[in-house]
Amino acid sequence: MHASKRTSRRNFLKVASATAVAAALPRTSFAADAVRVALILPLTGPFASTGRQIEAAVRLYMARNGDSVAGRKIELLVKDDGGLAPETTKRLAQESVARDKVTFLAGFGLTPLAFAAAPVATESKTPMIVMGAATSVVPQRSPFIVRAGFTVPQITAPIAQWATKNGIKRVVSSVTDYAPGLECERTFIRFFTEGGGTIVESIRTPLQNPDYAPFLQRIKDAKPEAAFIFVPSGQGAAIMKQFQDRGLKDAGIKLIGTGDILDDDLLEAIGPPALGAITSHHYSAAHDSPENRAYVEAFMKANEGKRPNFMSVNGYDGMHVIYETLRKTGGNATGGELVEAAKGLAWVSPRGPMSIDRETRDVVQNIYIRRCEMKDGKLWNVEFDKVENVKDPG
């Protein structure tokens, strides 16, 4: 046989043999390339603490659970959207899908940013794990959205109900004037008035560059029993300090709110003005469980002593959703199959027991009532009551 023909035949046999071996391997062998996760967060600007906490927790989850799952290596692509321009978030999501070929979109610190990215997830059939944005309607914006954080009504209704049950009947409501703030206002007013309470006045403060002084003066002049306050994560320090400086605390006006105002990440910076404030939230770094004690210790060790906040646990659990959907599908699935795998997931998080609702793709979890107290020389949001297995009432 001619030498060139013998070489061609050997090459053909090699290819045929390789093809036969590949055909006999499990489906996951064809998907051995990395699973790329685009983590789109505000890492600069006024909401940078949100992004930094989520990113740190995502990296901690990977450090504690390995950087591969179901035979696939996880590759994290972190992108800063600045937190203020939805068009930037949308562009980053489009680039992640079209250029980076990501398997998951994740992050999304605020509702307008999640809204902007949702059509990209739908068109590309890419699972979108929302870790920050908390307006009720978020999962409805795309059938590919799964939320691992919380919803605004979910954390608001319990504090409204607690207030009326504990003798607070006259309240001024003050919320930030954007979608989550308005939803928070509606939820608080609904549940507070249903319990027999009266809203003395409703105030809305600007999202960007707020000066809280004139609004706090209006609250003081109205002489309510309590002020209910909602601000985005990262803005609690300013309003808490001015609440004391303007004399509201000395005037006997109680401060109640959602946990955003007493962000664990900022408690040390807020200082004594935080003492005694009562809030409702899905996570406190002081949560008493073995899972949380291990989480807080590991987080602080990995982040120069910084305390994890509620946004961090959203990121941590969001990464858990990504890992578990890959594990359930054997590491090789379509976007739709990954979303289906997320439905009904249940686990014990550092925040406590939680699950993903099969119908809404939204989070179900305990909500805790906390009081800010001094323990061992440091401020903590100490839980003293809870409502179990809360679905989004919105």
* pTM flag (> 0.75): yes
Cα 270 off chain centre by? 22
Please determine, for residue 192, whether its predicted confidence score (pLDDT) is greater than 70: yes
Which of 1-5, 52-56, 83-87, 119-123 is predicted with the least confidence, judged by mean pLDDT? 1-5
Those residues with Cβ within 8 angstroms of residue 26's Cβ, 6 or more apart along the chain or in another chain: 330
The pLDDT tens digits for 119-176 are 999 999 999 999 999 999 999 999 999 999 999 999 999 999 999 999 999 999 999 9
Q: What is the mean pLDDT of residues 180-206?
A: 96
Q: How confident is the model at residue 310 (pLDDT cuts 50, 70, 90)?
A: very high
Residues 118/142, Cβ–Cβ less than 8 Å: yes
Those residues with Cβ within 8 angstroms of residue 18's Cβ, 6 or more apart along the chain or in another chain: none
Please determine, for residue 9, whether its predicted confidence score (pLDDT) is greater than 60: no
Q: What is the mean pLDDT of residues 70-86?
A: 97
Please determine, for residue 377, whether its predicted confidence score (pLDDT) is greater than 50: yes
pLDDT value of residue 32: 62
Q: What is the mean pLDDT of residues 10-27?
A: 37
The pLDDT tens digits for 24-62 are 333 333 346 899 999 999 999 988 989 999 999 999 999
Q: How confident is the model at residue 282 (pLDDT cuts 50, 70, 90)?
A: very high
The pLDDT tens digits for 227-241 are 999 998 778 888 999
**Distance from C-alpha of 144 to C-alpha of 92, rounded to nearest angstrom:** 17
Dihedral, 324, 330, 332, 338 alpha carbons, nearest 10: -40
Residue 186 main-chain phi, psi, to 5 deg:
-60, -45
The half-sphere exposure of 198 on its side-chain side, counting CA atoms within 13 A, is 7
Please determine, for residue 112, whether its predicted confidence score (pLDDT) is greater than 60: yes
Please determine, for residue 5, whether its predicted confidence score (pLDDT) is greater than 90: no
Residue identified by tokens 């549940």 is 191
CA dist 362 → 67, 114, 339, 352 (Å)? 26, 14, 12, 16
